[in-house]
Each structure stands twice: as structure tokens, then as C-alpha cells.
């Protein structure tokens, strides 16, 4: 029982990180119908920028994270302007290849700047506490709480503000949004900004309990793709739900099935789902 609840908590923590990454991916997919393979690189950069800010300038964790969100978000916008915007009318295969090109470039860049070795990130919230009989670190609690807060803020932003609803409008119908006077270029840039920011938050939250290295985005982005297929491409609640489902199945699978093959669970899940539902579990258009 004790192991079970500990693993459930672990699943919740992993799931929170997955959900945040998948949210950024699903937002971009909803607007532009691009499977952004470079999103994993954004995740990796987010962790590195936070780490550098903390080590180099000795900034506080939160401040470093804020700068990271800004830097990665702006990089994301730059990517949209330079690459995806010129490709907006190209066949879908082109976007994917362009995104792969960006991914390869950013990984090599990270390796050039920060080296290939694994690094660990310190956190001011390292103390171990006892929570309802569970032994957890503050950082893990922070991940859970932080993820929920970010999701709530995102929800309020999308549903309650004018700017947020333009994103939803564009996801529903690009031409329609254009006709009613929404500046689709601005909305696309804004979406990429949010998406990059979400990746940076997820990475900065998760980095203290994992390691930071140039290839850290690989598995996360692959799993994020599994999640958004699970939850329906472009669907926001689907991304959140899918993230938690995957988190739980992984942590339980690692305990009760095999730790060696735990990474395979996500992909097997996807292979099974797509075998029966070729368009994803909750396939529907828009939000």
C-alpha cells in the first residue's frame, strides 16, 4: 500500500511535467497544424537557461525561471517567424522536416555551449517532508502545485480574456478568425510564445529531480506526442488528461512490470491506440 501511494504520487509528478510540455505542443498544433518536433529542444533549452542563470549570475530559482521563460518564449517566436511562417502554405511534410532541422541545430548548439556532460540543478526546495505518510521532497510538491497553477492561469487566459479567445477562435477556424479581424500573424506568434514559455516552466520545474543534458528533450517530446494523440491533437483538456494518464501508467509500470522497459510503455500505449483509433483517442477538431 505504501509503495502504491508513493508510486501514485510519483506518477502525479511525472504527469504534471508531461502535461505542461504536451500543452505547449497541442496549442501550436491547434493553431497551425504543425507537429513541432523542435518543442523538445525548447524544453532542453529552458532547463539550460535556468541552470546558467543560477550558476553564472547566482540568481534565485524563481527569477532564473522567469528569465528562462522569456528567453525560450522569444526564441520560439523567432522560430515561428523565420521558419514556420514562410512554410505556412507548404505541404505538411515540409513543416515536419523543418522542425527536425531546428531540433538538430539546437541540440548541437546546446552541446557546443554547455558541453555534453550530465549536470544536476540545485534547488532551494530540497528538504524532505512527510505528507500524509509519504516521504517527499518539497520540489516534487512544487512541481505538482506549479503545474496546476500554470494550467489554471492558462485556462483563465484562454477563456476569460479577449486575447486568449482569439487563440481559440483561430484554432477553430483560421479563415473565419481572419475575416472577423483577428490578426492571425500576431496570434500565431503569441501561441508560440506561450508554448515556449510552458516548455521552459516544465523543464525548470523538472530539472532538479532529473538531470540536464543536451538529449534530455528526446524522450519527453516523444512522450508529449503520445499524449496529444491520446488526448486528441489540439485539445487542451486532452493534453492535461493524457499527461496524467501517461505519468501514472509509467510509474506503476516501472514498479510492477519492469523498470528496464518503462520507457516503452508510452510507445506501446500509442501503438495500441493508433491501431484501433487511427485518428487518436478523442479525435475532434479545434478545442
Q: Which residues within the stretch 101-160 sit at the binding site for another protein (CB under 8 A)?
A: 101-109, 111-112, 116
Q: State the residue for C-alpha cell 526564441.
A: 75
Contacts of 179 (CB under 8 A, 6+ apart): none
Of the pair 35, 146, the CB lying nearest another protein is at 35
Of the pair 106, 167, the CB lying nearest another protein is at 106
Of the pair 33, 119, the CB lying nearest another protein is at 33
Look at residues 126, 121, 149, 141 and name the one whose alpha carbon lies nearest to residue 19.
149
* Binding window for another protein (CB under 8 A); candidates: 14-22, 203-211, 239-247, 275-283: 275-283
Instruction: Report the C-alpha gap between 188 and 217 in whole angstroms.
Output: 23
Q: Which residues within the stretch 152-211 sit at the binding site for another protein (CB under 8 A)?
A: none
> Does residue 284 belong to the site contacting another protein (CB under 8 A)?
no
Cα atoms in the 13 Å half-sphere on the side-chain side of 229: 22
> CB of 230 within 8 A of CB of 277?
no
* Binding window for another protein (CB under 8 A); candidates: 29-37, 52-60, 126-134, 155-163: 29-37
For residue 107 the three cell numbers come to: 541540440
Helices (H) and strands (E) in the chain, counts: 11, 2
Of the pair 1, 93, the CB lying nearest another protein is at 93
Residues making contact with another protein (CB under 8 A)? 29, 33, 35, 83, 86-87, 90-94, 96-98, 100-109, 111-112, 116, 218, 222, 225-226, 229, 233, 260-261, 263-264, 266-268, 270-271, 274-275, 278-280
Amino acid at each position: 500500500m505504501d509503495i502504491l501511494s508513493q508510486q501514485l504520487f510519483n506518477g502525479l509528478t511525472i504527469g504534471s511535467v508531461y502535461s505542461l510540455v504536451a500543452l505547449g505542443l497541442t496549442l501550436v498544433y491547434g493553431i497551425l497544424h504543425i507537429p513541432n518536433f523542435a518543442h523538445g529542444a525548447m524544453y532542453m533549452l529552458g532547463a539550460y537557461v535556468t541552470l546558467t542563470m543560477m550558476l553564472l549570475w547566482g540568481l534565485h530559482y524563481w527569477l532564473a525561471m522567469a528569465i528562462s521563460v522569456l528567453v525560450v518564449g522569444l526564441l520560439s517566436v523567432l522560430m515561428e517567424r523565420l521558419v514556420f511562417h514562410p512554410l505556412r502554405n507548404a505541404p505538411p511534410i515540409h513543416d515536419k522536416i523543418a522542425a527536425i532541422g531546428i531540433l538538430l541545430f539546437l541540440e548541437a548548439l546546446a552541446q557546443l555551449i554547455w558541453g555534453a556532460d550530465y549536470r544536476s540543478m540545485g534547488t532551494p526546495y530540497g528538504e524532505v517532508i512527510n505528507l500524509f505518510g509519504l516521504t517527499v521532497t518539497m520540489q516534487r510538491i512544487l512541481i505538482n502545485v506549479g503545474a496546476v497553477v500554470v494550467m489554471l492561469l492558462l485556462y483563465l487566459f484562454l477563456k476569460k480574456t479577449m486575447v486568449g479567445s482569439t487563440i481559440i477562435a483561430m484554432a477553430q477556424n483560421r479563415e473565419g478568425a481572419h475575416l472577423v479581424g483577428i490578426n492571425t500573424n500576431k496570434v500565431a506568434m503569441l501561441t508560440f510564445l506561450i508554448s515556449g514559455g510552458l516548455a521552459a516552466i516544465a523543464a525548470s520545474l523538472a530539472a532538479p529531480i532529473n538531470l540536464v543534458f543536451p538529449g534530455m528533450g528526446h524522450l519527453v517530446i516523444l512522450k508529449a506526442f503520445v499524449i496529444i494523440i491520446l488526448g486528441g491533437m489540439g485539445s487542451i483538456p486532452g493534453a492535461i488528461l493524457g499527461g496524467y494518464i501517461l505519468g501514472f501508467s509509467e510509474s506503476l509500470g516501472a514498479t510492477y512490470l519492469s523498470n528496464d522497459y518503462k520507457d516503452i510503455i508510452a510507445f506501446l500505449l500509442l501503438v495500441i491506440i493508433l491501431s484501433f483509433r487511427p485518428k487518436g483517442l478523442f479525435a475532434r477538431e479545434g478545442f
